[in-house]
Chains A and B, each alone.
Chain A
């Protein structure tokens, strides 16, 4: 447990330190470059804001109308047999399809069950360890006009599935 915390807390400071030191040695105009990048960061957030408003509305409505609980009520007996926490289900479904959609769903679940609760932690780990599979496949295949993608959708979905299952198991073991 202690080394887990150690690695988790040292990762970010270590990466930042290494990059700044490296740039210092290579005599790059560090702060100017930082500002250029930070400005791009603003653009990214502003560009996803409208999407988030729309998605938060839809996901908030799903939860508050009671339809989500109703669906979960029907699915949970099946999922419980595999020891799969039903609360995570909406995130597992949307994660491969939409990046901003999964941000909205994950935020919604973390807020509802507590950000530091086991469910909240599982959501964060799933978010951090998986990608928007369908989007990535679309970008890479369309860039060169590929029509037949063979097995890659299945291979990527297997990877996502394993990522989600391992996230759940790891969180159950650690927290």
Chain B
């Protein structure tokens, strides 16, 4: 995707700058942009190290397994077709807990494992089943307790209170997830 967007951005903006004589500003921005990338990465480095370290500790404990208990009724509602497939349901709830905790590295393998288990029971291997579709939509909506990257960017830009966005993020991300699930359920009902 970026193979198309990136050159497009460069060609458009560089020729625009040459045509309309904004070259001085452009020259300045060429060098300041690389500097900004360095600055952002240095500040990201601290937060990402800290958070990854904490999350590594979490992944070594049984905390993910324990927290899946709270998800049982939700999973039951979201995946009615899985019925007695407790093993798949367990993988799905672990994927969800890992996502919520922000354990991206742990969440994806768990999610793919669940996809593979569902694929085994899929009658048409080229087409997604309802449950598979629901799992993917859940993952694209990804509810997160701590929006680490957004906080790291805010602190790198010198925000007064980088974590102040956490509560608004909860509201937005939960709304997005509900919208995604509602859309999925409707599409399934309409036989799409």
What is A's interface to B at a CB cutoff of 8 Å?
4-5, 7-9, 11-12, 15-16, 18-20, 22-23, 26, 28, 30, 33-42, 44-46, 48-49, 51-68, 70, 94, 97-98, 101, 103-104, 106-107, 110-111, 115-116, 120-121, 124-131, 133-134, 136-137, 139-141, 143-152, 154-156, 158-164, 166-167, 170-171, 174
Chain A residues, CB < 8 A from B108: 139
Q: Which of A52, A101, A110, A124 contacts B37 (CB 8 A)?
A: A52
Chain B residues, CB < 8 A from A161: 179
Cβ contact within 8 Å between A61 and B173: no
Cβ contact within 8 Å between B45 and A140: no
Chain A residues, CB < 8 A from B56: 33-34, 36-38, 40
Given A129-B173, A155-B184, A124–B165 Cβ distance below 8 Å?
yes
Chain A residues, CB < 8 A from B146: 11-12, 15
Cβ contact within 8 Å between A64 and B25: yes
Measured CA separation A46–B145 after assembly (Å): 25
Interface segment, B71-79, B84-92, B151-159? Answer: B151-159
Chain B residues, CB < 8 A from A145: 125-126
Max chain A Cβ within 10 angstroms of own Cβ: one of B141, B151, B192: B141
Given A147-B127, A167-B168, A101–B28 Cβ distance below 8 Å?
no
CB-defined A-B contacts under 8 Å, sample of 27:
A4-B167, A8-B163, A8-B165, A15-B54, A19-B54, A38-B52, A41-B49, A45-B48, A65-B14, A66-B25, A107-B40, A115-B154, A115-B159, A116-B159, A127-B147, A131-B140, A134-B1, A136-B140, A146-B127, A148-B126, A149-B128, A152-B133, A156-B140, A156-B141, A159-B177, A163-B173, A163-B175
* Chain B residue with the shortest CB-CB distance to A57: B33
Measured CA separation A13–B128 after assembly (Å): 40
Measured CA separation A33–B55 after assembly (Å): 9
Chain A residues, CB < 8 A from B49: 38-39, 41-42
Chain B residues, CB < 8 A from A162: 175-176, 178-180
> B90-139: which have CB < 8 Å to A?
101, 105, 108, 111-112, 115-116, 119, 125-128, 132-133, 135-137, 139
